[in-house]
Amino acid sequence: CAVPVDLTPPCPPTLELVNDCEEPLNTLTWNNPNNSCADDTWMYNIWFTDSLGGEYVLIATLNSAEDTTFTHVNGSSVAGCYAVTAIDTVGNESAFSNEVCGDNCPEYELPNVFTPNNDGRNDTFRPFPYRGVNRIDLQVFNRWGQVVFTTEDPDIGWNGTHRDTNEPVPDGVYFYVCRVFEERLAGEQLRELTGSVTILGSGSGPVN
């Protein structure tokens, strides 16, 4: 007699995501379809794309129906979208679960003073610890609107010297415009920072 052939895939899981920018990591959880649908789910495939509308790639396979949690670390980024499929004991694979997406939490802020006096403390103008930033476009101006420093390096590291003469600029208040290019799920996004920074102890005296 004929042997019945199982061609029915499992029901797709229902997926949830917890996005942790501090670690950084993403934690996925989903239901076991055996508890609500067919009872022959055997394993799961985890799918990932790092951009909205991007092509999904298989990043992991969990070999137990009871394993319904997965933690994903993707370098320093938590931006991306996920889906899970269930596979039964004869290899039938479900449709994709619902799609869940997480985004980065970019941070980039600048201090308001530094002291380029070579004492080993606060000698350069640099950002506070930052994340999710690809690049910047920074311009620093003196009180007359003249550009004294520029960089595209997010670490900055300005030692208080003039970009043209390489001589220390006078103590005083300087103004900046900083275009910050943030790494987001939808692609690179621009945020603009404006503010001032005070230089103390440059050795060249205050601005007249």
Q: Where are the domains of the chain?
A: 15-102, 113-199
Q: What pLDDT does 206 receive?
A: 57
Hey, what CATH topology would domain 113-199 get? Immunoglobulin-like (2.60.40)
pLDDT in tens, the chain (208 residues): 544 556 789 999 999 999 999 999 999 999 998 888 878 899 999 999 999 999 999 999 999 999 999 999 999 899 999 999 999 999 999 999 999 999 999 999 999 999 999 999 999 999 999 999 999 999 999 999 999 999 999 999 999 999 999 999 999 999 999 999 999 999 999 999 999 999 998 666 554 4
Class of domain 15-102: mainly beta
Q: CA 190, CA 197: separation in Å to the nearest integer? A: 22
Cα angle, residue 168 at apex, residues 167 and 170 outer, rounded to 5° = 130
- pTM for the whole structure: 0.81
User: Does residue 88 sit in helix, strand or coil?
Assistant: strand
Q: What pLDDT does 208 receive?
A: 40
